[in-house]
Structure formats: structure tokens, C-alpha cells
Structure 1
Amino acid sequence: MTHFRIPILAAGAVVWRPAGATKEVVLVHRPRGDWSFPKGKAAFGEPLAAAAVREVREETGLSVVLGPWLAGTRYDKDGWPKVVDYFAAVTDPATADLFTPSTEIDEMCWRPLDQAAALLSRPADRLVLSGLERRTAMTTTSVILVRHATMQGDKRDWEGRGKERPLDAAGGAQARAIAAMLSAYGPSRIYSADSRRCLETVQPFAAATRLTVCSDKRLRGRHFHLDYALQIAGEAMDAGRSTVICAHKEGLSRLLTEMCRHRADDVPTAVTIPKGGVVVLHSVAGKITDISQHLAT
């Protein structure tokens, strides 16, 4: 017989810091007897990137900013499948000594990569660790492409100006999920098309971080100016300044293709970002090394 099972979704992070010629990573010990990376179940509707940051903070006291996705692990827990997605992460040194033992996590430590591999209890976690060695040479910069969330009514029935069409209730929920997602990557600048739907999509994140939204017609619909968008994204990567760009479907697809054409080894094939979709371009020294795709639901 067939047996279809929806997995429990969880997320965690491999938190690292430079240590001479190598790296050190954070491991946590659970009282049941295993050493692993900080991780935990995502709350209902919580983006996995946000869940990873929250779980690291709850289990270790560390505030982190995510880098690229590293790997996923899958195993059964109490007869139910569980999938854990892991991201690379760097931490704020000011939170390094905030760990408090609990009934869930009784010990935390920093270990060099070779010692960490020997200490980890699950073979699958050692594969995740090898992904950090292979893919993350140093801290990455994120250029985050965001397509606006869902809107009120139907385009054909909307009687006002197209740029004034607002988000609907589902779009508002998507915008709040996007804010949590963006916070995980720690961007310091926000650029948006001047359409209401784009501005409302980034508003929750802007309000939470007190960042100013740079609104511009040149990021909207048929007015989209590719050279302007490429300048924003390119300068962000070259300066090492993580940045958000919120725009419409066609413009974002062109921007993604051109950024990869000039700054990556591979060009994605016909990527269309859905409403509420987020594409994170991770770069090192101005070169795109990884791409992460998320969807706010």
C-alpha cells in the first residue's frame, strides 16, 4: 500500500567564526545524549530562514545573520518524518556569552571543524558540516530580490490607477512573513518600486528595522530601468552591503538573469518569482556564489 506522510519542517544553522587558518562552529548538547547544531521546528506559517535564526537564539543566546543554505537532513522522529534545513550563519560577537543551560540544551561549545565532525552524533550532520567547508569561504553579502505580495481584486476589474492597487489580507500576511525572512539576512538598505503593492510589501520590515525605503518609479512595471537596478545590486555586492530590492515580476526576472550573467558561473533558466517570492543572491567579493529561493505563504 502507499503511505503518504507530510514531514515536520524544521530549520537550524551552522554558526561559524574564523579561527586562524580554519573555522570554529557552534555545537549544542541535548540531555538525551547527542551533539548537534542548534535547530528546531518551524512555527505555523513561519519562514524556515526566520525559524533558523529564532532557534539559534533560543538554544544558544546568539544573534545571527544567515548566509547560504547548506543542506537538508531527513529522519523519522517518533514514527513521523522530519526535515531539517540548515543555513550557514555568522554571529554578533556581543551575544557570544549569553548562553543559559536549559532542560533542552545543557551545553554549548565552539569547536574547530575537525573536532566538531568527531563530536557530532549524526552522520548526516557531518555532511552538513562538510557543506560549510566547501561552500562558504567567508561572510557573504546578500542582495535580496522580493516580488510584491498578493493584491486586492482582479487586475481587469480594478478601476483606479494600477500603481495604487493595495495588498489584500493574504498579501498583508505575506508581507509580515517576508519581514521575518528579510530579518534573517540582516539587510541595511531597502529599494522599492513606487507602486503601493511593493511599498506595502516591504513596510513591515522597514517599520521593524526603522530603515528608510528608497522608492523609485524606475523599479516599477513598464518603467523598469534595468541599468538602474543593476547599479543598485552591483554596488551593494561590491560594497559588502546587504540590500533589498522589491519590484514587479518582469523587472525582477530581467535583473536576476543579468546579475547571474555577469557575476555568476551559471545563469538560471527562466526563473519567474511568484507573488510573495524572495530570491537571495549570496556573494563573496562581488561574485554570486549561491542562490536561495523562498516563498511567503
Structure 2
Amino acid sequence: MADDYPFDEAEITSAWPPRDTAPGGYMEPIRAAGAVLWRQGESGREAVLVHRPDRDDWTLPKGKVKNGEHLVTAAAREVAEETGLRPVLGRRLPPQRYLRGGWPKLVDWWAAEAGPGASEFTPNEEIDRVEWVPLAEARDRLTYDHDVSVLDNFVSGPLETFPLVLLRHAPAGEKRAWEGDDLLRPLDETGRETAGELARVLEPYGPMRVVSSAAARCTETVLPYSAATGAEVRTVPAFTAGVHPGGGGVDTAAARRAFATLVEEGRPTLVCIHGELVADLMKEALARLGAPVTQQISLRKGTFWVLHITSGQERSLAAVERHEATR
């Protein structure tokens, strides 16, 4: 957190104005996504602000979600397009909802740091200036109250976190239709497409080591991500179904111990597992992080949890989000 940030003026929000539709009605919101892009500057922490010449305003980098686009990739794309910087998404921030031309607009936000592969910003008709601004000054420079609320939410929580992604493998067809060893049962056509989408959706979280069940349906799920990032896939027997005494099921206790080790090691990590382990591993992580357990903890095939965990010696949960491979 920034010591010189005006917390006496900050407004930490987790909801949005309730009166944004006609009484008793609903209007599908315009969807947008963006990020508070930050760095450690010479005089303290700074955030990126962008200036739009047509409106003569200062705002945070964000933009509309394209049809069929995933929120995660939309946020990363918009920040890169508006700043020339490639964001690595950190913890998710509360969304903001407000009226735009009389129509509700819903904006999803993340904290982010600039990663490698940045390009030089070129002024254009949409954005003509991009500036790194100290956090306290950024609050005064922002034109809109809803952007100020985003910055307040950003500063109120931990800035340095790492992602731990818990992914259930993609669709692999029916077990009863597979005649060979179940460990070798591959992804089906839908599963292969899902694996390719997952590689694109996971990329904005930055480089992660990859840990997986040794089952083919799990290693094939993370193969496109591994190929795109160069990360080696390390298989763990404790996460693998069908290799334990009796030839079936999972060793829940061993899996929980292995997952607890990953939490404590404090490295960005992608873990691909079987559905029967999801609830136990989430409960293990949340318990160790002193966080409550959600009632809807399970995952469908090809979906994942992202636990954003503080990087300090004392681990705690900074944010958690759940996504499918597609929007």
C-alpha cells in the first residue's frame, strides 16, 4: 500500500449504484475490462493513466469486450492497445457499474504489472498520452469518480501476489467408451479445442510452472499452454487418478499435502487435476490461507480457479476468481 495515499478520502467499493435501469426492469450492460497497471517508481508506487483527446479526460486503461471475447483476454488486449505495455494480471478488483449515455456499463478490473514484450506507445486519435503517475497524484488526476473507486480498491489490498491456478482437465469423452487403460484416455475433439482456448486465456496471468496429473487427459489439457510458454509439464502421482492401491480413485490426503506445498512455495503455478480432487484441494488452500470456503466450489471440465496469494512470508488470499475457457 502507498503510505502517502489519502485513505481518509478513499471510497472502497464492492458493488455499484443500484438505480441504473428502469424500475422493475433490466438492461443488458455494455461489457468492458481493464487494469490498474502499476510499478515501483523512484519516489514510490505509480499507476498508468491515459488521456483521451476527444473527451479531454484522464482515465485508467480499459475498453469494450469484443463479441465472444473472454474477459481476461479483453482486459490484457485493451491495456496493451492503449498503453503499449503488456500487462501481467494480478489480483482481481471489484467491478464497477455506471451509466454510459443512459445505458448501464459493467467494467471488470484487475491489478497488473508490465511484463516483457512491451512496444513503444504511439499517440493516436483514441489515446494521445500515457503517463506513469504517483498513486496519490493519480487519484486527483482521474476525471471520473468510478475510476477513483477502482484506484481506491487497488490501493486498499496487497499489490504483490502470485497466481495459483487450479484447472480441471478438458473434456475427454466417456470413460465407458474407452477400451484401453484409463490413464491413456485422450481428450476428445471438444477437449482439444478447449485446451487451445485455455492457453490463450491463461497467458495474461504471466509465466507459470505447470504441474499435472500424469493422466493423458490432464497433460494434453496443458500441452498448448506448455508449448506456447516453454514451461515443462511436471507430473505428480499424488494428483493422478488410477495409480493408487486398488487401481482406481485418488489419494486425497497425498493430493492435499502436495497442493499445500505448492501454496507455501509461493511461485506462479498452473495445476491440472481430476474433478474428484477439486473440492479437497480448494478447501486445503483456503484453509491454509485463512479464507472462507465457497458453497459452489466444484469445476466443470475445462474450467479453472485462480487463487491470488500474497507474496510475503505470511500467505493470505488476496482474491479468487473462476473462469471457463470461453466467455
Out of 184, 194, 207, the position equivalent to 1:174 is 194
1:253 maps to what in 2? 279
TM-superposition CA deviations, 1:96-145 (whole Å, max 9, x none): x8222112111111112221111212211111111111112x31011110
1:271 maps to what in 2? 297
How far apart in 1 are the matches of 2:94 and 2:150?
6
The SS at the match of 1:10 is strand
1:64 maps to what in 2? 87
- Root-mean-square deviation (Å): 2.5
**Contact between 2:195 and 2:222, CA under 8 Å: does it hold in 1?**
yes
How far apart in 1 are the matches of 2:101 and 2:193?
32
The SS at the match of 1:24 is strand
The SS at the match of 2:270 is strand
Alignment of 1:47 onto 2:70: yes
**Contact between 1:236 and 1:242, CA under 8 Å: does it hold in 2?**
no
Out of 134, 139, 155, the position equivalent to 1:117 is 139
Out of 148, 162, 168, the position equivalent to 1:126 is 148
How far apart in 2 are the matches of 1:122 and 1:42?
20
User: TM-score with structure 2 length normalisation?
Assistant: 0.81
Gaps of 5+ in 1: none
What letter is aligned with 1:92? G
How far apart in 2 are the matches of 1:281 and 1:91?
20
How far apart in 1 are the matches of 2:197 and 2:53?
33
Alignment of 1:188 onto 2:211: no
- How far did 1:19 drift? 4.2
TM-superposition CA deviations, 1:181-214 (whole Å, max 9, x none): 2211124310111222212211111110111111
How far apart in 2 are the matches of 1:228 and 1:71?
35
How far apart in 2 are the matches of 1:218 and 1:93?
34
User: TM-score with structure 1 length normalisation?
Assistant: 0.88
1:18 maps to what in 2? 40
2:59 maps to what in 1? 36
Task: From the two aligned structures, give the one with the greater helix fraction.
Answer: 1
Q: Pick closer, same or farther for the CA change 1:272–1:81 going to 2, 3 Å.
A: same
Q: Pick closer, same or farther for the CA change 1:275–1:244 going to 2, 3 Å.
A: same
**Contact between 2:207 and 2:229, CA under 8 Å: does it hold in 1?**
no
How far apart in 2 are the matches of 1:80 and 1:173?
35
**Contact between 2:256 and 2:280, CA under 8 Å: does it hold in 1?**
no
TM-superposition CA deviations, 1:229-264 (whole Å, max 9, x none): 445544444443100100011212101101111222
**Contact between 2:278 and 2:297, CA under 8 Å: does it hold in 1?**
no
**Contact between 1:47 and 1:177, CA under 8 Å: does it hold in 2?**
no
- How far did 1:77 drift? 4.1
**Contact between 1:29 and 1:105, CA under 8 Å: does it hold in 2?**
yes
- How far did 1:79 drift? 5.7
Q: Pick closer, same or farther for the CA change 1:103–1:134 going to 2, 3 Å.
A: same
How far apart in 1 are the matches of 2:96 and 2:190?
31
How far apart in 2 are the matches of 1:184 and 1:93?
12
What letter is aligned with 1:203? L
Q: Pick closer, same or farther for the CA change 1:93–1:179 going to 2, 3 Å.
A: closer
**Contact between 1:233 and 1:243, CA under 8 Å: does it hold in 2?**
no
Summarize the alignment of residues 213-232 of structure 1 with structure 2, pairs less than 5 Å apart: 213-221=233-241, 222-232=248-258
How far apart in 1 are the matches of 2:232 and 2:322?
25
What letter is aligned with 1:259? A
Out of 289, 292, 295, the position equivalent to 2:321 is 292
**Contact between 1:189 and 1:213, CA under 8 Å: does it hold in 2?**
yes
Percent identical: 39
What letter is aligned with 2:127? I
**Contact between 1:192 and 1:199, CA under 8 Å: does it hold in 2?**
yes
Q: Pick closer, same or farther for the CA change 1:246–1:267 going to 2, 3 Å.
A: same
1:147 maps to what in 2? 168
